[in-house]
């Protein structure tokens, strides 16, 4: 099948590359010439494991094309995926300007029946708005109601984890498709069934529903996962106060099959492109419908506060004034295996440390370049603070002469460091761990002053530490 993908971000690139991998002819469009130049030059503008190789293989096979030519993109695909960004607006609602502009372009150039697929995360009712925008463009061309310009707008939300997006797409646990039950919807259903047929050969993974329910499903899924994270973080904060170990608690409750272990890890808050904006957007949707989502309002509030927990622990151990103190920070991206800095807990942590007078030397194996760009913007109004932030050339380089190590992202490389070397190069053997990577008792035996989330602080063997 001929497929067009509008947008070459995380969702668009992964969707396009994976659909090409199963044999479809894919045309990827982006209005940003820089991205297309990178892609046509053999690179990828984002970090996602396996994506570069997947694109290279399918480009060599002639199954994937990258272009800024809007008219050609509309002509190419019988199925038009809209996979552009939906950033949060000032009021927390999803900004649909890019989605609607993509729809206008399709209406401006389409000739013949098109299935328009909302792959972007969009609020309930967006498919109807997309249909209306396309209809307006067709009317301008004098083609309203024309048999040759029929269309169906489908909701097909993505469920991809950054850092594992390719595997998630190629081995989906479900494929949600929302469409209308009419003549055009039935034609769209057949096309979508053919499109995803390779994923349903062993057993049917596709769940069909109405469009609004499909749009809602994506938000409800992310809201549930965010809720589990905030719940566990709030339990961790209480565990700190009552002397319980949140890791033991996690194993105890996770063993219940009704609960499970997923998304029950305490830490320094969630970030990224999905959970923060989707929780906000769902809260906004509810407000527009005259309802308060009190649970999600609490989820958002807990997450906001959780990003300050590590700084509070640092202040508790080192004092309010951190002037003259140097901190090594391991991990900048909001999660491992990505360079995504959107809503990353490291941004709040580092800003707070700098505001208290500290010097910060940061390291991330992938996100350093993106972090430089982000912090240049975040700290543009406080150049004196920005001057006290530097980026190390390696994780060991970050440690040298630091008063403490702060771990924000659980990269695999951080899980089993050389603790003897770490103690030697740090000014003081002290770790503030925002991801609970190590065992408190083991750290104490090594003479390391170890502070984690929701776990008892054990006095190190060398109490002078």
Q: Is 86 annotated as a binding residue?
A: yes
Q: Is 391 annotated as a binding residue?
A: no
Question: Kindly report the CA angle at 377 between 372 and 378, in degrees rounded to 5?
Answer: 95
Q: What does the alpha-carbon distance between residue 111 and residue 319 come to, in Å, rounded to a whole number?
A: 68
Q: Is 414 annotated as a binding residue?
A: no
| Cβ atoms 232, 266 nearer than 8 A | yes
Q: Is 342 annotated as a binding residue?
A: yes
DSSP 359: E
How far apart, in Å, do the first and last CA atoms of the chain sit? 65
Residue 177, classified by CB atoms within 10 Å of its CB into exposed (0-12), middle (13-18) or buried (19+), is buried
Q: Is 18 a catalytic residue?
A: no
In the chain, what are the helix, strand and coil shares in percent, each to the nearest 5? 45, 15, 40
Q: What is the 3-state secondary structure (H, E, C) of 32-88?
A: CHHHHHHHHCCCCCCCCCCHHHHHHHHHHCCCEEEECCHHHHHHHCCEEEECCCCCE
Q: Is 109 annotated as a binding residue?
A: no
Of the residues 18, 28, 268, 274, only one is catalytic, namely 274
The encoded tokens of residue 213 equal 């329910």
Q: Is 191 annotated as a binding residue?
A: no
Q: Is 162 annotated as a binding residue?
A: yes
Q: Is 465 annotated as a binding residue?
A: no
Q: Is 422 annotated as a binding residue?
A: no
Q: Is 437 annotated as a binding residue?
A: no
Q: Is 264 annotated as a binding residue?
A: yes
Q: Is 225 helix (H, G, I), strand (E, B) or coil?
A: helix
Q: What does the alpha-carbon distance between residue 96 and residue 107 come to, in Å, rounded to a whole number?
A: 17
Q: Is 399 annotated as a binding residue?
A: no
Q: Is 59 annotated as a binding residue?
A: no
Place of tokens 């010097």: 359
Q: Is 415 annotated as a binding residue?
A: no
| Cβ atoms 435, 267 nearer than 8 A | yes
Q: Is 384 annotated as a binding residue?
A: no
Q: Is 194 annotated as a binding residue?
A: no
Q: Is 218 annotated as a binding residue?
A: yes
The encoded tokens of residue 23 equal 């044999």
Residue 216 host element (H or E): helix 211-242
For residue 26, list its beta bridge partners.
3, 64
Task: Residue count of the chain, please give it.
Answer: 465
Q: Is 196 annotated as a binding residue?
A: no
DSSP 118: E
Return the active site residues. 274
Enumerate the known binding-site residues for NAD(+).
Answer: 30, 35, 86, 121, 162, 277, 342
Binding residues for substrate: 159-162, 218, 263-267, 271, 335
Provide the annotated binding site.
30, 35, 86, 121, 159-162, 218, 263-267, 271, 277, 335, 342
């Amino acid at each position: 099948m001929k497929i067009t993908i509008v947008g070459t971000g995380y969702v668009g690139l992964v969707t396009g590359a994976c659909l090409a991998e199963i044999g479809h002819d894919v045309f990827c469009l982006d209005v940003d010439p820089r991205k297309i130049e990178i892609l046509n030059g053999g690179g990828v503008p984002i970090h996602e494991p396996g994506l570069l190789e997947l694109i290279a293989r399918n480009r060599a096979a002639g199954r994937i094309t990258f272009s800024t030519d809007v008219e050609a993109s509309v002509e190419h695909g019988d199925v038009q995926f809209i996979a552009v960004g939906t950033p949060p607006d000032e009021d927390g609602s999803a900004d649909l300007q890019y989605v609607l502009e993509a729809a206008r372009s399709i209406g401006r150039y389409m000739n013949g029946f098109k299935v328009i697929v909302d792959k972007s995360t969009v609020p309930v009712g967006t498919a109807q708005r997309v249909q209306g925008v396309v209809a307006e463009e067709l009317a301008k061309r004098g083609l309203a109601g024309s048999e040759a310009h029929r269309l169906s707008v489908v909701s097909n939300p993505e469920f991809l984890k950054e850092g594992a997006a390719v595997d998630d797409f190629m081995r989906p646990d479900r494929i949600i498709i929302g469409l209308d039950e009419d003549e055009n919807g039935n034609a769209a259903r057949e096309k979508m069934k053919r499109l995803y047929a390779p994923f349903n050969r062993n057993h049917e993974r596709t769940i069909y529903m109405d469009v609004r329910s499909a749009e809602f499903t994506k938000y409800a899924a992310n809201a549930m996962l965010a809720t589990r994270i905030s719940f566990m973080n709030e339990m961790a904060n209480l565990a700190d106060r009552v002397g319980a170990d949140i890791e033991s608690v996690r194993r105890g409750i996770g063993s219940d099959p009704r609960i499970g272990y997923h998304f029950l890890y305490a830490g320094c808050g969630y970030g990224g492109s999905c959970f923060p904006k989707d929780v906000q957007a769902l809260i906004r949707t509810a407000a527009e419908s005259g309802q308060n989502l009190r649970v999600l309002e609490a989820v958002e509030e807990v997450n906001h506060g959780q990003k300050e927990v590590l700084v509070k622990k640092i202040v508790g151990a080192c004092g309010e004034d951190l002037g003259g103190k140097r901190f090594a920070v391991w991990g900048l991206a909001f999660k491992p295996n990505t360079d995504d800095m959107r809503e990353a807990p490291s941004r709040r942590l580092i800003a707070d440390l700098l505001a208290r007078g500290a010097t910060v030397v940061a390291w991330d194996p992938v996100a350093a370049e993106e972090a430089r760009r982000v912090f240049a913007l975040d700290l543009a109004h406080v150049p004196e603070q920005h001057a006290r932030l530097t980026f190390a050339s390696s994780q060991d380089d970050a440690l040298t002469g630091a008063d403490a190590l702060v771990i924000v992202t659980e990269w695999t490389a951080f899980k089993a460091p050389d603790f003897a070397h770490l103690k030697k190069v740090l000014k003081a053997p002290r770790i503030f761990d925002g991801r609970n990577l190590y065992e408190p008792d083991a750290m104490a035996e090594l003479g390391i002053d170890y502070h984690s989330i929701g776990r008892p602080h054990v006095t190190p063997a060398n109490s002078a530490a």
